[in-house]
Amino acid sequence: MPGERVRCLVLNSALGPLDYRVPAGMRVEPGSIVVAPLGPRQLLAVVWEADRLPAETVGDNRLRNLIGVMDAPPIPAPLRRLVEWTADYYLAAPAAVLRMALASTSALDGAKTTLEYRASGQMPERMTPQREQALARIGDRQGSVRELAAMGEVSDGVIRGLVKTGAIEAVEVDLDAPFSAPHADFAPPALAAEQTRAAEALREAVAARRFQPFLLDGVTGSGKTEVYFEAVAQAIRSGRQTLVLLPEIALTEPFLTRFATRFGCRPVAWHSDLRQSQRRRAWRAIAGGEALVTVGARSALFLPYRDLGCIIVDEAHETSFKQEDGVHYHARDVAVMRGLFEQCPVVLASATPAIETRHQVDLGRYAELKLPGRYGKAELPHLEAIDMIAEPPERGRWIAPKLVKAIDETLGRGEQVLLFLNRRGYAPLTLCRNCGHRFQCPNCTAWMVEHRLVNRLACHHCGHAMPTPRACPECHEEDTLVACGPGVERIADEAAALWPDARSAIVTSDTLWSPARAAEFVRAMEGGEIDIVIGTQLVTKGYHFPNLTLVGVIDADLGLEGGDLRAAEKTFQQIMQVSGRAGRGEKPGTVYIQTHSKEAPVMQALVTGDAESFYAAETEQRRDADAPPFGRYAAIIVSSEDKDAAHAAAAKIARAAPDITDMMVFGPAPAPLAMLRGRHRYRLLVHARRALAVQDVIRDWLGALDWPSKVRVAVDVDPYSF
Ligand code: ADP
Ligand code: ZN
């Protein structure tokens, strides 16, 4: 209504919600995306219900007019509720959460087509090293000139030159091109009895539009995906949308193909690697309701689905669902809240559910659907520990004799091997044997990791990198640098020395950085072009290679270092997950776990297969410590480039801690990464009983304090490590 006062959440503004006046001739409703004036600037904003978010009151005479309304569907009410809940629960600014919902403001511009550039395959007449490098980096990736330049770290000018020669061609892309509609009954499988029972429960909840979280709990290869596909099919039949969250973008490619086999076309994908034009097209189709199934990374959780009928979180135990910067949130938990606001079922699928999730089942809040065994003829693999103290590898080697023998035999049978080590690069630490100098990142409390394939030392936290020097920077002696400890590249070297004829592939985020690369890896594995895969956690999930029969875990103790309360659970999940890659077809699988702590309960649980006792013991430990899921933690991270300022602010916050029974404050202590990207970090750990509304306490506590602008204070509610 013109003249009406409306409350708006303004993007990119540190201020809270602000009131505006609707000028004559403009129509808005709650959820409308509008342009609002703020000082001299014009910013995007969303119209909110006035009674939901408190704003500073402004006299009518000081109200400013809205400037315009975007030609885009409004942000639906359930998503507005989700923005409020997330901001409230995770102590974030509502505008920062809303930014995730609008995803890319370019989604809102009016253009209908755009020009995209891609390599044509035709070589330019005059080749320069820069051009050659640009073409190699760009490969088959597409994007605007600017995006291509950023992706390949090459200059705009070089790319423009290549466009002129025809080596890169411009293609006009229709931004409103519709997505194909998946077909619920394109190729339905014949489900096994347990699968049918589970699928039936999901179908019923989707059809009834009922909020209900489900834990779909089944060992790797038990056919969970086929089961939740039935929930997707039901949503498609009702014309409602589905969101499938996946933990790892590299996994999307095989998943998309599998989806297409079942539903006749690929779903809409949403992840950070999308080009601007794809992002715009997907956002519009999702908001308009035409995109029936979206498969995405955690950020897909905040998109404006018009009518969401089902949410799936696959590999729900995965740590990558926890966002650690910007708004700190856990996508698994936010997914459940979104299901509540949308009134639809939420399916958490996992072979190794988190203790928190199992606890919700025990409390009766989540319904459990169990798939007991592997689907079809496949058997679970046989797990065996190798005692690295009793049967160590040869000096300077990392693969123990028993595993060497098993690899020999496996390769002899023409089957495939996976060696798992969750460490990228060649060696985690490089030092000078003459003077003892160690290469440390100048910006972080972390060693520089040698990447021998590209001849660089790199920090895995901030990306700082340098060419590997020949001489020690400290004592200037040449050729004195030694690599300490193994990374995947070093294991690959060892494998090459032991099995010179075997074809091996390293699979990490360095080698599988795009969906196209992931697809190429899958093709090579399926085509039998790879004998030995050496990989990080990236290979532990989602893949199904029937000829892969042996898995070797190079260092099972890696995750136990640091010793926080989650270490054993995480180790269990990771090793179960990687074991799940072995023997998925007709041939049985074997897993060797190299460990120095064979007697540790987690190693025992793995080899005996007694997950239940392990979970029970871990849960008791948590109960004793009143740790999650019983008690609650929140971390307050205080950071600054100025170490003293960070420390002073952290100390001030600690001194002002309210004295409340049911709550304890530990610290400040240096945060787990004491320095990160040039900022010194201190952490206060708040421990609270469940009954306490700890967010309200922290909000009041921090709200009454101030600190210099160079200090940043972030709150991480339900932090991953405690
Ligand atoms: P999970 O998701 O539990 O690891 P998947 O759904 O990937 O298990 O199933 C494992 C394998 O078994 C896949 O190759 C899948 O295609 C196959 N499979 C599962 N259920 C069926 C079924 N009902 N009919 C045919 N193949 C199935
Ligand atoms: Zn660094």
Q: For residue 24, which phi and psi values (nearest 5 degrees)? A: -55, 140
Up-side HSE of residue 424: CA atoms within 13 Å toward CB?
Answer: 22
Read off the pLDDT of residues 276-307 as tens digits, 9 standing for 90 and up. Answer: 888 888 999 999 999 999 999 999 999 999 99
Read off the pLDDT of residues 570-609 as tens digits, 9 standing for 90 and up. Answer: 999 999 999 989 988 888 899 999 999 999 999 999 999 8
Cα of first residue to Cα of last residue in the chain, in angstroms, is 51
Tell me the average pLDDT of the chain.
91
User: Can you say how many angstroms the Cα of residue 51 is from the centroid of all Cα atoms in its chain?
Assistant: 35
Instruction: Give residue 209's pLDDT.
Output: 96
Distance 194 CA to ligand 1 centre (A): 12
pTM of the model: 0.91
Annotated binding site for Zn(2+): 432, 435, 441, 444, 459, 462, 472, 475
Read off the pLDDT of residues 682-693 as tens digits, 9 standing for 90 and up. Answer: 999 999 999 999
Read off the pLDDT of residues 469-528 as tens digits, 9 standing for 90 and up. Answer: 999 999 999 999 999 999 999 999 999 999 999 999 999 988 887 777 888 899 999 999
Annotated binding site: 432, 435, 441, 444, 459, 462, 472, 475
Read off the pLDDT of residues 364-383 as tens digits, 9 standing for 90 and up. Answer: 999 999 998 888 888 889 99
Nearest CA to ligand 1 atom 25: 189
Mean of pLDDT values over 211-224: 94
Instruction: Give residue 250's pLDDT.
Output: 61
User: Can you say how many angstroms the Cα of residue 207 is from the centroid of all Cα atoms in its chain?
Assistant: 30
Distance 520 CA to ligand 2 centre (A): 31
For the CA of 220, the closest atom of ligand 1 is 4
Within 6 A (CB) of ligand 1 lie: 189-192, 195, 218, 220-226, 375, 544
Nearest CA to ligand 1 atom 14: 544
Instruction: Give residue 57's pLDDT.
Output: 73
Instruction: Give residue 647's pLDDT.
Output: 97
Distance 67 CA to ligand 2 centre (A): 44
For the CA of 190, the closest atom of ligand 1 is 23
Distance 322 CA to ligand 1 centre (A): 27
CB 116 within 8 A of CB 143: yes
Nearest CA to ligand 1 atom 5: 223
CB 704 within 8 A of CB 697: no
Lookup: tokens for 712: 């940043």
Distance 516 CA to ligand 1 centre (A): 24
Least confident span in 8-17, 90-99, 278-287, 458-467: 8-17
Cα 465 from Cα 169, distance rounded (Å): 33
Give the other-Cβ count within 10 Å of 398's Cβ: 21
Lookup: tokens for 258: 């599998």
Write the DSSP string, 463-527. --EEEPPSB-TTT--BS-EEEES--HHHHHHHHHHH-TTS-EEEESTTT--SHHHHHHHHHHHHT
